[in-house]
């Protein structure tokens, strides 16, 4: 249990978190730039080989700076097989009418309520702007950097500024001059 307060352990833990957030932000920025040129669709499709025109699907889409999840089609229980699929198409802007409150929309988060078509199929969408994710990721990175800097634990009897042993001089640090 004493290990969790060890300064080296705390520094390693926070530096790992900063590294993970930095890698995730870098990947998000690369995906964001790519999304303006190519729309990537990856998802799982439930299907019946005998019926080529109908399916049930879950797609994860990056397109025009938006990450989206779209679910729809006939009920998945109607189809005996499923597979993962990847599609790459020319990028196009989303133009769906959405159902979220205006404030949430201004933050870059959008969704549609589940709606059923006359054919019995249904669809629902959720999307978030990659810029919103980058801002949240940047805030997390700043938080972890601040926590990383605060992770320096000063043991009793040592100077708060430089860590010098104060047993011989209890009123002022002889190394840096900081009053105790």
Whether 69 is covered by a domain: the verdict is yes
What tens digit of pLDDT does each residue of 31-50 get?
888 888 888 888 888 877 78
For residue 49, the enclosing domain spans 36-129
Mean pLDDT within 12-36 = 84
Using pLDDT thresholds of 50, 70 and 90, give the confidence band for residue 1. very low
Residue 2 has pLDDT above 60, yes or no: no
**pLDDT band for position 7 (50/70/90)?**
low
User: Is 5 part of a structural domain of the chain?
Assistant: no
| Cα 136 to Cα 30: distance, rounded to the nearest angstrom | 17
Residues 6+ apart with CB under 8 A from 2: none
Check whether 22 has a pLDDT greater than 60. Answer: yes
Is residue 4's pLDDT more than 60? no
Phi and psi for 166 in degrees, rounded to 5?
-100, 15
Write the CB contacts of 37 (distance below 8 Å, at least 6 apart in sequence).
91
Question: What is the total count of domains within the chain?
Answer: 1
**Distances, alpha carbon 80 to alpha carbons 19, 59, 83, 120, in Å:** 43, 19, 11, 18
Residue 171 lies in a domain: no
């Amino acid at each position: 249990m004493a290990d969790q307060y060890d300064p080296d352990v705390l520094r390693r833990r926070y530096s790992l978190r900063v590294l993970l957030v930095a890698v995730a932000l870098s990947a998000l920025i690369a995906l964001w730039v790519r999304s303006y040129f190519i729309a990537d669709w990856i998802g799982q499709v439930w299907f019946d080989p005998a019926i080529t025109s109908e399916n049930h699907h879950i797609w994860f889409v990056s397109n025009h700076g938006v990450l989206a999840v779209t679910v729809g089609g006939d009920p998945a229980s109607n189809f005996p097989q499923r597979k993962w699929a990847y599609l790459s198409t020319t990028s196009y802007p989303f133009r769906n009418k959405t159902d979220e409150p205006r404030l949430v929309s201004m933050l870059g988060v959008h969704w549609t309520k589940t709606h059923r078509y006359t054919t019995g199929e249904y669809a629902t969408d959720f999307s978030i702007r990659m810029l919103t994710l980058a801002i949240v990721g940047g805030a997390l990175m700043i938080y972890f950097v601040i926590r990383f800097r605060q992770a320096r634990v000063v043991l009793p009897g040592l100077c708060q500024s430089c860590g010098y042993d104060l047993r011989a001089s209890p009123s002022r640090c002889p190394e840096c001059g900081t009053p105790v």
